[in-house]
C-alpha cells in the first residue's frame, strides 16, 4: 500500500487533513482489518460467487476502497465493483487521482467515484458490501444502508461518538441509541453491544437478521462488522439477542441469567462482577448498575476472527522495502508500518476461539472485585483456566482482559490462587 504520508504510529484520532480531504492515520488498523475481513468473506463463499458490488459509502480520500483493490489477491479483486461515495468533491478528486497514480499492480477490479448523499446513493441497487465510516454517529445512515444490502451481504459500521456510546454523555446515548451504559472497564464492550443492538433492530425492520463477524474498540473509534441475511421472521429473532448487562448482580439476578442460558452454572458464594439478563427481565430505569438494551449474543464469528492472523495481515497488507519507494518511505518506515499492521490484529486469532464465551473479564476490575493486591497476568489466568479444561483466551480489547466459559467460582478461585489477598 502507498499513501502520501509517512506512517505515524503515535498519532491517535480524530482528524487530519490530506490536501483538502479528511484522512485519519489512526484508522489505518481498521482499514487493515477491513481488507482481511473482505478476503475472508470472499473465501468463505459468504458473498456468493459472482460480482461483488461494494460501497465505501463515506469514502473521503477513498483510501479504504483503494486498499481493498490494491491489497486483495487478484482473484478476489477482480470480482469487485466498488463505488467510493462522498458529498465532498475535493475528497473524491483526491481519491480519483490517487487511484490513477497508484492503481492496483494486478490491474483487477472496478473502482468508480460518485459524488452525492450516501442516503440517496445506497438505494441505486443492492450491494454485497457496505462500509459506513462517518464523523460521529452512524445512526443517520443506518436505515438506508441496510435497505441497500443484497440478500446475503456484509455491513461494516464505525462510530466515533465514543463518549456517547460508552455512557460518558448520557443524553446523546439515550437520544441516538435508546440505551444507557455504565462507565466501567467494560464500557467499550457495552458500547459495541449497544451499536450491534442498534444495527440488529434496524436490520430487523427490513426483514434482515445480523450475524456479528467482528466488534472492535480501537483508540477513539468503535466498529462493528456483521453479515446480514434477508429472511422473514428476522424481527422476532432479534429480541432473543437483546438484553441487559448488570454490574454487581444479586444472587437472584445471577440465577435468572443462568436460567436464560446467559451465564455458566456457578455456586453463588462469590458473586460475579457482571451478568447478562434477557430483555424480558424487569430492570429499573434509574438503576446505575444496568447497561442496555444491548446485544447479548456473540460479538464476533470464530471463522472471521481466526482469519485475522499476523502472518496473513503482513502478507496481504504490507510491501517489502523498496529503496525507490514513490512515497519516500525509509526502511525504518517500512518496519514501523509492519509493526502497526501486526498490532492491528493482535490477539484476534486467539480471541476467535473464545468469542462465544459468556465472561469478558478485565483483569484490573477483577483484582479490585476480589480485593487482590494487583491484577493477575491475563496470560497466566487464561492458561490456568485452560489447564482446568475451560476455554479461555486473551482479547483484542483496549484494557487487558480475557474471555472464558469457566464458571465464576472457578475464575475467582484461580485468580485468588495466583494473587492471594494480602
Binding interface with ligand SAM (CB under 6 A): 22-24, 27, 31, 58-61, 63-64, 85-88, 91, 117-118, 133-135
Closer residue to ligand SAM (CB): 117 or 311: 117
Q: How far is the CB of 222 from ligand SAM (least distance, A)?
A: 13
- Write b or e for each residue in 369-390: b if 16 or more Cβ atoms lie within 10 A of its Cβ, otherwise e: bbebeebbebeebbebbbeeeb
Closer residue to ligand SAM (CB): 85 or 393: 85
Question: How far is 340 from 393, CA to CA, in rounded Å?
Answer: 22
Q: How far is the CB of 139 from ligand SAM (least distance, A)?
A: 12
Between the CA of residue 393 and those of 287, 347, 399, what are the distances in Å? 31, 9, 14
Question: How far is 259 from 414, CA to CA, in rounded Å?
Answer: 25
Question: How far is 64 from 334, CA to CA, in rounded Å?
Answer: 19
Cell numbers 427481565: residue = 281
Q: How far is the CB of 18 from ligand SAM (least distance, A)?
A: 9
Closer residue to ligand SAM (CB): 33 or 182: 33
Closer residue to ligand SAM (CB): 85 or 375: 85
Q: How far is the CB of 310 from ligand SAM (least distance, A)?
A: 22
Closer residue to ligand SAM (CB): 202 or 401: 202
Q: How far is the CB of 21 from ligand SAM (least distance, A)?
A: 7
Question: How far is 341 from 349, CA to CA, in rounded Å?
Answer: 14
DSSP 228-244: EEE-TTHHHHHHHTEEE
376 DSSP 8-state letter: P
- Write b or e for each residue in 239-248: b if 16 or more Cβ atoms lie within 10 A of its Cβ, otherwise e: eebbbbbbbe
- Chain-centroid distance of CA 99 in Å reads 27
Closer residue to ligand SAM (CB): 135 or 332: 135
Q: How far is the CB of 28 from ligand SAM (least distance, A)?
A: 9
Q: How far is the CB of 104 from ligand SAM (least distance, A)?
A: 18
Q: How far is the CB of 195 from ligand SAM (least distance, A)?
A: 16
DSSP 105-158: TT--SEEEEEES-HHHHTTSS-EEEEEE--SS-SHHHHHHHHHTEEEEEEEEEE
Residues 6 or more apart whose Cβ sits within 8 Å of residue 311: none
Closer residue to ligand SAM (CB): 4 or 268: 4
From 186, 180, 172, 181, select the one nearest 139 (Cα to Cα). Answer: 172
Closer residue to ligand SAM (CB): 135 or 259: 135
Question: How far is 132 from 123, CA to CA, in rounded Å?
Answer: 14
Amino acid at each position: 500500500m502507498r499513501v502520501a504520508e509517512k506512517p505515524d504510529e503515535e498519532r491517535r484520532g480524530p482528524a487530519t487533513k490530506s490536501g483538502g480531504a479528511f484522512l485519519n492515520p489512526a484508522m489505518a488498523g481498521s482499514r487493515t482489518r477491513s481488507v482481511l475481513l473482505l478476503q475472508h468473506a470472499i473465501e468463505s463463499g459468504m458473498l456468493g460467487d459472482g460480482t461483488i458490488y461494494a460501497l465505501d459509502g463515506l469514502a473521503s480520500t477513498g483510501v479504504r476502497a483503494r486498499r481493498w483493490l490494491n491489497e486483495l489477491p487478484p482473484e478476489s479483486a477482480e470480482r469487485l465493483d466498488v463505488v467510493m461515495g462522498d458529498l465532498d468533491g475535493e475528497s473524491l478528486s483526491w481519491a480519483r487521482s490517487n487511484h490513477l497514480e497508484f492503481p492496483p499492480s494486478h490491474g483487477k477490479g472496478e473502482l468508480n467515484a460518485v459524488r452525492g448523499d450516501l442516503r440517496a446513493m445506497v438505494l441505486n441497487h443492492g450491494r454485497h458490501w457496505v462500509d459506513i465510516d462517518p464523523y460521529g454517529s452512524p445512526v443517520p445512515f443506518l436505515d438506508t444502508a441496510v435497505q441497500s444490502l443484497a440478500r446475503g451481504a456484509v455491513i461494516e459500521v464505525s462510530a466515533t461518538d465514543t463518549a456517547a456510546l460508552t455512557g460518558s454523555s448520557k443524553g446523546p446515548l439515550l437520544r441516538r441509541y435508546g440505551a444507557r451504559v455504565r462507565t466501567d472497564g467494560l464500557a467499550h464492550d457495552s458500547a459495541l453491544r449497544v451499536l450491534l443492538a442498534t444495527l440488529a433492530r434496524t436490520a430487523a425492520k427490513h426483514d434482515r437478521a445480523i450475524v456479528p463477524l467482528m466488534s472492535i474498540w480501537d483508540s477513539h473509534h468503535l466498529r462493528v462488522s456483521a453479515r446480514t441475511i434477508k429472511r422473514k421472521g428476522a424481527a422476532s429473532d432479534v429480541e432473543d439477542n437483546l438484553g441487559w448487562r448488570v454490574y454487581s448482580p444479586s444472587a437472584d439476578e445471577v440465577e435468572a441469567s443462568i436460567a436464560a442460558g446467559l451465564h455458566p452454572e456457578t455456586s453463588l458464594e462469590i458473586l460475579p462482577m457482571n451478568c447478562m439478563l434477557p430483555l424480558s427481565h424487569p430492570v429499573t430505569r434509574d438503576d446505575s448498575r444496568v447497561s442496555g438494551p444491548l446485544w447479548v449474543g456473540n460479538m464476533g464469528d470464530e471463522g472471521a476472527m481466526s482469519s485475522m492472523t499476523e502472518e496473513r495481515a503482513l502478507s496481504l497488507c504490507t510491501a517489502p522495502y523498496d529503496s525507490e519507494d514513490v512515497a519516500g518511505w525509509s526502511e525504518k518506515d517500512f518496519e514501523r508500518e509492519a509493526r502497526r499492521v501486526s498490532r492491528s490484529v493482535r490477539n484476534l486469532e486467539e480471541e476467535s476461539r473464545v468469542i462465544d464465551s459468556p465472561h469478558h473479564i478485565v483483569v484490573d476490575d477483577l483484582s479490585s472485585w476480589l480485593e487482590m493486591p494487583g491484577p493477575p497476568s491475563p496470560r497466566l489466568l487464561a492458561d490456568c483456566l485452560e489447564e482446568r479444561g475451560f476455554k479461555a483466551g486473551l482479547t483484542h480489547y483496549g484494557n487487558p482482559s480475557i474471555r472464558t466459559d469457566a464458571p465464576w467460582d472457578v475464575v475467582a478461585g484461580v485468580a485468588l490462587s495466583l494473587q492471594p489477598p494480602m
